Amino acid sequence: MKKYAIILFSIVVVIISVLSYNTQHNINKEKYYEKKELLEDLNQVVNIIKKENPMLHISEEELNNYASYYGNMIEDKMDFISFYRLLASFSEKIGCGHTYLDLPGVELNKYFNRKESHLPLDIKVIDDKLYVRSMVYSSDIPVGSEIISIDNKSAQEIIDILLDRIPSDGRNITFKYGLMNKMFSRVYFDYVDNRESFKITYIDPNSNKSTKIIDAELRASIDGILQSQNGESREITTEFFENYAVLTIPTFEYYSNVDNKVFQDKIDEFFKTVKENSVNNVIIDIQDNGGGNPLCSDYLYSYISPKKYTYFDTVPANGISYSKLATLQNPKANVFEGNLFTLISSFNFSTTAHFVSLLKYNEIGTLIGEPTGSTYRCTASQKDIVLKNTDINYIYSTEIYKTAVEGIDGKMTIEPDIFAPKTIDDYINNRNMARLKAVNLIN
């Protein structure tokens, strides 16, 4: 997400939040703070939330009660990481997925690339159990194994900690699970633990229970390998088959004029080909899409809306670049009029959930997959402050954006028309269950 005013609606900054130290900012896990210093930082967060955050999902009384509760949990001589995680837990109670903690800086990025402290496992959470989809560099733990504990923390305890600290709109847990499944190693590092090695107790696919100690790895190495193993890409792809076409959009993060033009050209070309070849069935896959620029999702929507439409209900003053989205717009001349199947997931957040809410409300096509990670409204137009004593960068929302829909719960998620849950076997074999269900419907 780009910060402040004109650019908003993405989850990327959340998933690269940093929990570590650097000497430039005097941030390190060996440093300890006086209780009064940490209370000052906590109160700084409370005051800015009261002053500028819309507080969609929390009352001032509730905020004060949480501040008192977490303030009492602060101890004298508390180390940085303990406070960071405590503050993350407090911030989660605000119920705003665009409000979170961050530690920016070149030095921190350098630290990530040289410090081995990340869990080298691709873990999926299914029915509140942890499963190994793959390992980085080795095969010490068989894929498909169920993790019983990590460093004596049970799987359920780990999940509960993550649910308590990962921010989401309205504190809905759907997005939290989506983020765990997207990048478990990162959220584990941020919110649970970081160390040079991890003791893993697991049950392998043959029902044998074992315990092994595995070395930590670099974040950059883990990210690159897992993206390759999962076949992940941030590029828009198109596929054409005998009786259907597939448009995969992993992100709406095309913010600059140049990038926005690239996005529009790819969408134009896809629907031009669809029209020229009389394709009657289209699958739009946005399962890996965590948000981005509303101008992009609106542009896509203009190709599938069968009638004039309004994208946003209203646009706040800080969102002036999106003002046209609150006016009545015409669909494209070559709007798609065939059978549409949109694949969604719990990772869909912010702009992506806005897009899905319009499909749901206007009954455009069939939604297949999982419930989304957020709904038709969110707060954005972010600002940030640096906390006085710990130098934590606190990012917070200031405005409300909502799509022009009615009758959709503003706190929960958007349900698919057809559910397509994944098993660990589906993850291991890169099986796209939502797409398979769509193709079966077409055929």
* Least confident span in 102-106, 185-189, 216-220, 304-308: 102-106
Provide mean pLDDT across the span 142-158. Answer: 97
pLDDT of residue 230: 61
Radius of gyration, CA atoms only, the chain: 22
Amino acid letter, 423: T
The β-bridge relationship of strands 339-344 and 121-126 is unpaired
The percent of residues above 90 in pLDDT, for the chain, comes to 77
pLDDT tens, residue by residue, 64-90:
999 999 999 999 999 988 999 999 999
pLDDT of residue 321: 85
Q: pLDDT tens for residues 101-149?
A: 986 454 455 555 556 688 999 999 999 999 999 987 766 899 999 999 9
Q: What is the mean pLDDT of the chain?
A: 89
CA distance readout (Å), 351 to 215, 271, 298: 38, 21, 9
Domain 114-229 and domain 237-378+401-442, same fold? Reply is no
- For strand 399-403 and strand 377-380, is the pairing parallel, antiparallel, or unpaired? antiparallel
Per domain, the residue ranges of the chain are 12-110, 114-229, 237-378+401-442
* Residue-level pLDDT at 57: 95
Give me the pLDDT at residue 53, please: 97
Per the model's pLDDT, the better-predicted residue between 282 and 106 turns out to be: 282
Q: Quick check: 9 pLDDT over 60?
A: no
Q: What residue type is 260 in one-letter code?
A: N
Confidence (pLDDT) at 358 = 98
pLDDT band of 323, cuts 50, 70, 90: very high
- What letter would DSSP give residue 118? B
CB atoms within 10 A of CB 364: 18
pLDDT for 26 equals 42
Residue 7 pLDDT > 60? no
The tokens for 328 are: 């009545």
pLDDT of residue 27: 44
Q: What angle do CA 142, 147, 153 make, to 5 degrees?
A: 145
- Residue 332 has what DSSP assignment? P
pLDDT-based confidence at residue 317 (cuts at 50, 70, 90): confident
- Name the more confident of 20 and 97: 97
Instruction: Collect all residues with Cβ–Cβ distance below 8 Å to 377 and sequence separation of at least 6.
Output: 56, 400, 401, 402, 403, 410
Q: Which of 49, 69, 70, 71 is nearest to 60 (CA)?
A: 49
End-to-end CA distance of the chain: give it in Å, rounded.
39
Chain segment 208-247, per-residue pLDDT in tens: 999 999 998 877 677 666 666 665 677 999 999 999 999 9
Return the higher-pLDDT residue of 343 and 410: 343
Check residues 332 and 234 and name the one with the higher pLDDT: 332
Q: Which two tokens stand for residue 441?
A: 């419907």
Nearest residue to 364 (alpha-carbon basis) of 414, 398, 328, 422: 414
* Maximum alpha-carbon separation in the chain: 70
Give the angle subtended at the CA of 31 by the CAs of 105 and 111, to the nearest 5°.
Answer: 30
Nearest to residue 377, comparing CAs of 348, 347, 345, 409?
409
CATH of domain 237-378+401-442: 3.90.226.10
Burial class (CB in 10 A: 0-12, 13-18, 19+), 87: buried
CATH of domain 114-229: 2.30.42.10
Interval 351-356 mean pLDDT: 98
Which residues on adjacent β-strands are paired with residue 248?
237, 285
Contact 152, 351 (CB under 8 A): no
Q: Which of 34-38, 222-226, 279-283, 296-300 has the lowest mean pLDDT?
A: 222-226
Residue range 52-62: mean pLDDT, rounded: 97
pLDDT value for 316: 87
